[in-house]
Structures are given as structure tokens and as C-alpha cells.
Amino acid sequence: MRYLWVVLGLLWWTAEVQAAPRAKFEPGWGCYIGAYVEKDRNIDGDMRRFERVVGKKHASYFTYVGYGQPFPRTWVEEVKAVGAVPHLAWEPNEGLEVIRDDAYLRGWAREARAAACPIFLRFASEMNGAWMAYHGNPALYIEKWRLVHEVMEEEAPNVAMVWCPFAFPRRNIPDYYPGDEYVDWVGVNIYSVYYHNADRRQPAHREDPRELLRYVYDLYADRKPIMIAEYAATHYCRAYGGPTVGFALEKMTLLYRSLPTEFPRVKMINWFNWNTLADGAADNNYCLTDDQRICQRYSELIRSDYFLSTVPAEGWGTPPSEKRPPVPTPSRPERMPGPPISPRVRREIGEKQGARGHWQPLSGVEARARWSALPRGTVALRGIENGDLVSGPVTLRVQLASDVRAKYVVFRVNNRLCRMTNRAPYLYLWNPAPWPEGEYRLQAVVYTTSGDVLQTETVRVTVRHGAGT
């Protein structure tokens, strides 16, 4: 019975995500795989050789470009030739002041458009880290980011802008966020290392890559597709003084296997395939082709149809026309898949703490017993009334009674999922401008963590463009 709840929950979650409006190039189901391979000496940076070694075509490859350098036209054509899409990490390494609306920026954008393919543009990533030249002035960063976004929107509609902090420090990540309308995808760079900064006084081997992902995921996944723009696990560490193969196998397995069930809004993951130690660039070996065991595990992890090898070139964001593969079996059937919930929220909703301090979802029986004791009227949809005439944007707000701890809310318009959130205040700004005139049913559905519906509130309104609200 419990396994049935798991499967139904996963099917429900997949259906919800499928119905949501998609970002540019976002797949309706599954997760693109990508890599950085140009520094891999074993394959001479050859993307086709890399795919033969790992046994699967990749959807994307990335490279680094300094702001001020020309658009990498030749490299982009090489990526296109292997049936992948380019992912460019464009870095203003001389600081933010050099970014202007000028001939360089406009020309670069026009060359991106001339590439005539989808492009993921990861502009000024890891801005939350003091190691970047564009760190330290969030207001200026946001100003420049918005400028670049506006130019790309005008000159290169085939570009998806990816905003991408490092996994830590966390405290300042939200300070640099340019705003939903200026971001297509939210990324995060994560590395599983044995020691931070090659310093034995900074052990990192106990870190869980899922928890490094979770902070950014919890902040933005309800409204943006998530890209793990860079990930790798070290299998040789200078500070450790030897191989760390077992460590790498454990960490990479934890992360890749968690994506379909725990992090379904992660829509791309890229492996950073480079022996930085051998090249004197850093202190870890992340190269898949340097160790047969690591390469074999990677091949096994991406073998599932859930990991996608192609970004649709036509329709730019339209999912592939072929039949969607079956939903994968969850790797941990005892856990009910559901929305991302932080430890703080878990405590608020009353999940019980099990062995070793891990938070465990309430069983279906426990959840239904808890919520059935709540009086009706515990949920209210504010901001609009039945029969209203609507012509402009409306902010819908879910108000919960003080004793209600279930805080996962779905907003629908005529059964179309428009927003999901597990964070208060539970708001959705509905703009009826793109919708035809007529009658609409607006709904707010509050779910428990076990996937049960606590309550649904509905209002019916009429859209008349140009009329008063």
C-alpha cells in the first residue's frame, strides 16, 4: 500500500510540473545532461569521443568566455555538429563597470542570434563568492544583469539567461537575484570535495550534495527550472594525499539518483570533467575518464531515459514529440515524493523525527487524522471575489488559520497550474492580459505533505480587457 502511495504521488507531481508554464528550453519531463570536456586530455577534448566513452549522447556542453572576448563562433559550431546546444559561462572578470550598452555587447548578442540554436547563457556566475571580481556590490550586479538580459531579449531571443550562484556562502545569495522577469533559469554550482580549499583544517567529506543543492532549490524551484550548472566529485585529492574513489562514487550516486524523486525541478545537470590537479589549476581530479570505476558509475547513473540527450532545436522550449518514457521507479520507495520543504518548515508542519535525527513524513493515516480534525474554513482565498470583473493584474493570496500547518499551495486558472509555493506569503500575481475575454475559475489548493488535499477554494470571475476591476 505504501508503494502505491509513492507511485501515485510521483505521478501527481509529474502531472503538476507538466501543466506549469515552462521557461525557455525547459523540458516538460526529465533532466538534460551536459558536461565540460575540453580539458580532458584522454579524449583531447573531443565531445564525440567523450560520448563514446560514457555511452550516451549529451544534450549540452559548456565553456568559459571572458567578457570582452569575441563570441566563440567556432566552438559553438562544434557543439552544434554533435547535436548538442552550447552553454556559455560568460564572466566579467575585469569587474562590472565594463558592462555597457555598447557595440561589443550588441554585437556579441547578434552573433549569438546568428548561431541559430538554443543557447544557455550563464552570465556572471558565482557572484556570491568573494573570489569573483564582480562580487561585493549586489545593486550594481543586478543593474548590469538586467542590462544584459534586456539586450539579449532584444537581439538574441534564442538565448536563455541562467543566474547561477555557488552553493555557498548562502546568506548573500538572495541579495544578488535580479528578479523573476529577468531570469530564465536558476543555476547552482556544487562540488563534492574532501577538503575545502585543499586545507586539511576544512574537512568537507561529510557534506551531502543534496543538501548543498537544497537551499537554492527551496528558494527558486517553485517558479524557475533549476540547472546544476557545474557538478563533480573528486576521486583524487591533493590535501588527502591519495585516491578518494569511494567518496566520489558515494556522492555522485546520491545526487544523480535523487533528482527524479527529490528534485524534479532540476532540469539540467552538467559534469565538470577536468583533472585540475594535473593541469595545476586546482587541487582535485574530477576527470571521469581517468578512472574506470568513476566512468562506469557515471554511465550507469545517466542511463535512465529520465536523463535527456537532446534539447529541441525547433520550437525553442517545446518538449520532444516522441512519447514520454515511463515514470522511473523511486530509489527510496519508503519516502513520499513531494514539494521541496526546508527543515524549518518540516518542524512547523509536524513531521516526526526518526532515527539519527532524520525527518520522516507522516504516514497517510496520520496525516488524514491530523487534518480531519481541522475545522472547515481554515483556508481563504483573498484578493478577489466571486463575480468580479477583471481587466488588470490581480494578486491572489491564501490565508490560513493560525492552527493550520500545511503550507504547500497550488494556484490554478481553469485547471491550468500557474504557480506552486511552499513559502509564506502564499501569493500569485495573475495577469489576465494574455488570456482571452470570458469567464475563469481561479483556485487555490492547499496540500498536506503526504499529498492529500487539505482544502480547495474557488472564485469565478470575468475577464474584460479595458474594463474596470
Q: Can you give the pLDDT at residue 414? A: 86
**What's the mean pLDDT in 400-424?**
69
d(CA 62, CA 72): 11
Query: Measured on CA atoms in the order 297, 303, 308, 309, is the torsion positive or negative?
Result: positive
Is residue 218 a contact partner of residue 278, using CB atoms and an 8 Å limit? no
**What's the mean pLDDT in 43-68?**
98
Query: Measured on CA atoms in the order 343, 246, 170, 16, is the torsion positive or negative?
Result: negative
- Which overall architecture, per CATH, does domain 372-463 show? Sandwich (2.60)
Region of poorest pLDDT, from 107-116, 303-312, 392-401, 455-464: 392-401
Q: Can you give the pLDDT at residue 425? A: 66
Q: Can you give the pLDDT at residue 380? A: 74
Q: Can you give the pLDDT at residue 423? A: 62
Q: In the predicted model, what is the mean pLDDT of the chain?
A: 82
Is residue 104 a contact partner of residue 145, using CB atoms and an 8 Å limit? no
- Residue-wise pLDDT tens digits, 76-100: 999 999 999 999 999 999 999 999 9
Q: Can you give the pLDDT at residue 411? A: 82
Q: Residue 303: which of 83, 31, 39, 62 has the closest Cα? A: 31
**What's the mean pLDDT in 367-392?**
65
The residues of the chain that CATH labels 3.20.20.80 are 2-308
Q: 2-308 sits in which CATH class?
A: alpha beta
Q: Indicate the SS3 state at residue 365.
A: helix
Percent of the chain with pLDDT over 70: 77
The residues of the chain that CATH labels 2.60.40.10 are 372-463
Cα–Cα distances in Å, from 349 out to 11, 43, 329, 357, 371? Answer: 23, 51, 27, 16, 11
Name the more confident of 465 and 136.
136
In single-letter form, the type of residue at position 77 comes to E
Cα–Cα distances in Å, from 287 out to 78, 173, 292, 436? Answer: 21, 29, 10, 53
pLDDT band for 419, please (50, 70, 90 cuts): confident
Assess whether pLDDT exceeds 90 at residue 420.
Answer: no
The dihedral formed by the CA atoms of 219, 220, 222 and 224, expressed in degrees to the nearest 10: 180
Q: Residue 254: which of 238, 231, 273 has the closest Cα? A: 231
Is residue 419 a contact partner of residue 390, using CB atoms and an 8 Å limit? no
d(CA 29, CA 276): 34
Q: Residue 112: which of 142, 140, 71, 162 has the closest Cα? A: 71
- Residue-wise pLDDT tens digits, 177-217: 999 999 999 999 999 999 998 899 999 999 999 999 999 99
d(CA 192, CA 236): 12
Q: Indicate the SS3 state at residue 405.
A: coil
Cα–Cα distances in Å, from 64 out to 59, 310, 335? Answer: 18, 21, 39
- Residue-wise pLDDT tens digits, 112-166: 999 999 999 999 999 999 999 999 999 999 999 999 999 999 999 999 999 999 9
Is residue 232 a contact partner of residue 281, using CB atoms and an 8 Å limit? no
d(CA 445, CA 441): 13
Percent of the chain with pLDDT over 90: 60
pLDDT band for 451, please (50, 70, 90 cuts): low
Strands (DSSP E) contained in 279-339 are 284-285, 307-308
Cα–Cα distances in Å, from 348 out to 75, 345, 426? Answer: 50, 5, 16
Assess whether pLDDT exceeds 80 at residue 355.
Answer: no
**What's the mean pLDDT in 296-312?**
96
d(CA 324, CA 28): 9
CB atoms within 10 A of CB 444: 24
Q: Indicate the SS3 state at residue 267.
A: strand
98: burial class by Cβ within 10 Å (0-12, 13-18, 19+)?
middle
Q: Which three cell numbers stand for residue 124?
A: 556572471
Q: Residue 216: which of 206, 205, 207, 227 has the closest Cα? A: 227
**DSSP alpha helix (H) spans, 178-333:** 209-220, 245-262, 292-301
Q: Which three cell numbers stand for residue 433?
A: 492580459
Task: Give the global pTM.
Answer: 0.67
